[in-house]
Structure 1
Amino acid sequence: MEWLVSLTGAGLVMAALRDLFHTLWHPTRRGGLSRLIMSGLWRASQRVPARKRVAGLVGPLAMVTVVVMWACTIILGWAIIYWPHMPEAFSFGSGLKPAQHADLLDALYVSLVTIATLGLGDIVPTEDWLRIVAPLEALLGFALLTATVTWVLEIYPALARRRVLAIRLALLRRADPSAHQMDGPLGASLLESVATEVVRVRVDFTQYAEAYYFHDDQNHAPLASSVGYAAELAQRGQAAARPDVRLAATILAGALEALATVLDEQFLHTGGTPVEVFAAYEADHGRSLS
């Protein structure tokens, strides 16, 4: 029975590690529990009356919540591993009575002290296998901290690339290039560069799906409100006389279609055309905050 309880704790630890791996390091970057938490907070924020004021907090709060979930699951799992073997498999410092420190709370204390690498030494394992397992928890705590910092450092460059594209499209819409300007070398270069940035954003949504749950600043042209103009540029370019402009416009149209596919498959689930997907994206991010 003791080993069955310990195996249950090990299962919790493995579940947290699996979710962490799929969220941060798996090629698809699709964590199960972490995605549920993020999407749940996103949907909950849409029901808040003052959503515009809390919108910017959803993404950071979702990441913090996921990290806390990982940490709590790992701490609880390791505590359940220790619990059945207390107090006989542990050595207690002077002033502590082993019979009074054998419940789950004490196991949680040992787990928390170990994962935080505090090394207080008042309760330490004496069984050989526990003396090996306990340092592994400390290493895991260090790995969790490192993974969290890496996650934060990865997500914000992706958000910056998205915002750069959004602002560029907003500036292009304001400049409103003429048909003559589009049907020239400048038009081909412009469409090709926009297509490159769209591809980067599409890759970011694939590799960093949590970026979807970050709101852009509504005062500086969010991508959800400006991506439709990129589709308009592609349509205008495909009607140009120059073959290089038409080619660049076709590439841009393909990049936008790929972006719409990622948005729909991972987040929106409309099953519609790219135009309908971008409209749903704007409703989810842009007009809903107006």
Structure 2
Amino acid sequence: MIKATTINEVKENVREWKRQGLTIGLVPTMGYLHEGHASLIERARKECDKVIVSDFVNPIQFGPKEDLATYPRDFEADCKLCESLGTDLIFHPEPEEMYLDGFHSYVGVDTLSAELCGKSRPIHFNGVCTVVSKLFNISEADKAYFGQKDAQQLAIVKRMVRDLNYNIDIVGCPIIREDDGLAKSSRNIYLNSDERKKALILHKALTKGEELVREGEKDVKKVIKTIRDIIESEPIARVDYVEIVDWNELQKIDKIEGPILAAVAVYIGEKVRLIDNFVVE
């Protein structure tokens, strides 16, 4: 497995792979890889000749009070996992390599980023779109793989690719969960044992909400109230948002008539913010 730290290293390898007519799959990550990331890499391995994993904690998607400095990192463990799954190249640049002095160019998707996490993290998705755009250009990948746990991110990246005519297919992959239902996340490490148990309230609430929708409930307010009431029954859970939106446009709706995304963001304890969701097509 190639360990590349510069853009030129990646481009040199990509140039040779393209010369050979090989297809490339890209898995963008911020490192501290877990089974959710592994599922993306495995999917890419099945569908592409070469697999690139980016391992980069992207500073421009963190707000001033967010956890950039303490975001978990373990590049050695990431390399071991990637190599065991057949990754061909892992790209681990420094921020200065991705953002040169005088960097002023950003990419964003306005409407889709206005709701859900966009309300409390106003710069986040511009940072995501910008780094993903750079990774698409650097890797020249044929396909890129994103998990549904970050459903708003997935929808935004798909729209960006459509609107800006990127020559890449975006592959959305299912949420990977712990045996007890908690969605896999790099931020789960921040939870102590008691918080970890109580964080299961997210999955419990969403499971009940999804049951209501699949049983035919059309009233958005009723489904949201059911989800919120269950979450708020746990004293250490503080709701950031519980929303149901149109899955294509990520805009609020009053009645469930087409594909929907039900998404939550919840603080467990003082600082750990977890997200989870379900989609009903």
Q: Does TM, scored on the shorter chain, surpass 0.5?
A: no
Larger Rg: 1
- TM-score computed with the length of structure 1 as normaliser: 0.21
The structure in which a higher percent of residues are strand is 2
- TM-score computed with the length of structure 2 as normaliser: 0.22
The structure in which a higher percent of residues are helix is 1
